[in-house]
Amino acid sequence: MISVQNITVRFGEKEVLHHFSLQLPERGIVGLSGPSGCGKTTLLRVLAGLQRPDEGTAVLPGPVTMLFQEDRLLPWRTAEEHLTDVLPRGRRQEAAHWLALVELTGEEHARPAQLSGGMRRRLALARALACGGGLFLLDEPFTGVDRDRAKRILTRMRELSVPILLSGHEPELLALCQSVVWLDGPPLRLVPPPAP
């Protein structure tokens, strides 16, 4: 299990997480749904080891890979180079697989400035998935991506059989997650799912 126990995070006088606990399965896609500013990104940063909690502990299944809300692409690298840079030397031919998964086949030699916002987001997602790891933390992975394409990509991601925790708002994408954690805050807290 992915386990978060009594996590508290304070920024000055503000508590973003207050004794927050959560247990998640080690396989499948779990959606985090809550209003902007409720603490989802802070939770992901704690799980990624980028934010030290003031209290509490987290138990994770191996190395963590995080996709940030910003694409963080290198302007001088082609789409393919963004992937070959993170793949082990003997597996660099897999770049084509990850580009196909996010529907960027044919854009191998394009640099970020030649791609639309949605295409850059998909490239950042492909790079994160290609990195591998025991847990993938994806912060708003489909920003700027049209819904039909995002649904196709998310369906393919389900077949990877790896633990993925993603934050999002779109009901049709959350419906493709194996489970959804409903949140509110700050401080971040679990809430019942919305009425149908």
Share of the chain above pLDDT 70, in %: 100
**In this predicted model, which residue has the larger pLDDT, 2 or 43?**
43
Query: Per-residue pLDDT averaged across 161-172, rounded?
Result: 91
13 token code pair: 């006088």
pLDDT band at 25 (very low <50, low <70, confident <90, very high): confident
Reduced to 3 states (helix: H, G, I; strand: E, B; else coil), residue 180 is: strand
Q: Using 50, 70 and 90 to split pLDDT, how confident is the model at 29?
A: very high
In the predicted model, what is the mean pLDDT of residues 60-79? 95
What is the per-residue pLDDT for 141? 97
The arithmetic mean of pLDDT across residues 12-33, rounded, is: 93
Q: CA separation (Å) from 35 to 32, 39, 58, 170, 184?
A: 10, 9, 23, 11, 6
Q: Provide the CB-side half-sphere exposure for 132 (13 A, CA).
A: 9
Question: What is the spatial distance between Cα 157 and Cα 189, in angstroms, rounded to a whole number?
Answer: 27
The pTM (predicted TM-score) of the whole model is 0.94
Separation of alpha carbons 151 and 159, rounded Å: 13
- Considering all CA atoms of the chain, what is the largest pairwise distance in Å, rounded to the nearest integer? 50
